[in-house]
Amino acid sequence: MAKKFLWGTATASYQCEGAWNEDGKGLSVWDVFSHESPLNINHVTGDVACDHYHRYEEDFKLLAEGGHNSYRFSIAWPRLIPNGTGEVNRKGVEFYHKFIDSMIAHGLEPNLTLYHWDLPDALARKGGWENKETAYAFADFARLCFKEYGNKVKIWVTINEPKYSLFSMYAAGNYPPNVQDTQRLMVAAYNTMFASALAAIEFRTFKDIGHIGIVADYDPVYGVDDSEECKFAVRMADHVLNGWVTDTAIKGTFPRELVDTLAQRFDVGFMKDEDKAIFEAGTLDFLGINYYFRAYVRPYTTGECMLAANNTGKSGANVSEVDGVQRTMVAKGMFERIKDPEGIYTEWDFEIFPDGMYALLIELRDRYGDIPLYITENGLGIREKPVDGRIDDDARVDFLDQHIQALLRARSEGINVCGYYVWSAFDLYSWVNGYDKRYGLIYVDFDEGNRRIPKKSYYWYKNFIRKFEEGK
């Protein structure tokens, strides 16, 4: 693991690369969804996005000048293996060689994620993550990446945010395949974690290619009170929102209480005894944590399972209100996730809660010991437009400052946190939110040739990093 503290930013292939059909790339599930689905409510695609595919040299120069010493990115699976399995696209392989070489030449430590949601469409048509064969295909893809880039990359991530992506796919239903089916969600979740374990096993057949982890969107859970009913709700929320990813990745087993509870209402026969050895052998070296908000929960009251998705930027979209309380998630018989009436929320209903950064780092140390931790994403999505050629994003500066201070507090208490990455390097395609929701330190003018304009937060982050390095 890198000894220096890593300061960087993060992106994902489909969200920034563009070049959706260039140089032999195959279709991803997002290519098809963005072109064809009526559920693509903002009617925009990632066909060009930020054009990072053609402009990465310019982008890496900007990041290096901004004080970064690392960059987190993902590989587009269908760019390397167009159909998900079978023939390898050498043009895609060579692109990422040049891409990584340029990154390193600009002094940026590569932090590579193998899968950030752009599943090859050919595999999606065969059941996607509901089909266990996708896990084996992923292991083959991972092995190709380890073989090609293992002499250049030392920080590897199997899968980005299994929870958020799968909950969007199978609970909220706003990501393809756009269904709301808890049974199918469970199968897909199991196979996704199985894929991660298989990839880790492949990784360990190689020598001296670094360390491998997973990136989880981890939501520290807070209850509305200290009643026994609420303690149960908090415990179950932690299993559902966090533990099924992090326990499985680090300990090699799914949370027993969660499995037993789900077995009372669902078929868990897809969890095979013969897979246990794979999960145990496929544990990971570190955790990457994407922190955006906490979970505020109360005991279950009534209603079927639901998950609200706000892709409009209109506060309160799709929530379920009971007795004046806004519920953003209902896990029947287990818990309800609610909005804190005293909380501060963005237009997309993300609660701004910096204390959660400190809490989760302490919690993870207590839970898993002294394993390396990275904050692999943390950032603020807002609407922005230049004023007199400037973007004075003071809200983002304040957000980042508060969260980084919480991280440094945990680090000063001995927590083994090794790096921090802002989401995102530059404005990009924000999935179903389109381009309206901007996260970048660098503004992208999508109407004027994707022109880059560093924001106030870019310069603030550069200065913060400089002061940190000087103060060591």
Positions marked catalytic: 161, 377
> DSSP string of 209-257?
--EEEEEEE---EEESS--HHHHHHHHHHHIIIIIHHHHHHHHSS--HH
What is the SS3 assignment for 421?
strand
In angstroms, how far apart are the furthest CA atoms of the chain? 63
Q: Nearest to residue 203, comparing CAs of 146, 158, 249, 277?
A: 146
Give CA torsion, residues 124, 164, 234, 158, to 10 deg: 80
CB burial readout 110-143, b (16+ within 10 A) else e: bbbbbbbbbbbbbbbeebbbbbbebbebbbbbbb
Q: How far is CA 129 from the centre of its chain?
A: 17
Write out the two tokens for 252.
Answer: 């090699």
| Omega prior to 424 cis, within 30 of 0 | yes
DSSP code for 159? E
312, amino acid identity: T
| Cβ neighbours for 130, distance < 8 A, ≥ 6 positions apart | 184, 187, 188, 191
Cβ–Cβ under 8 Å, residues 445 and 431? no
36, amino acid identity: E
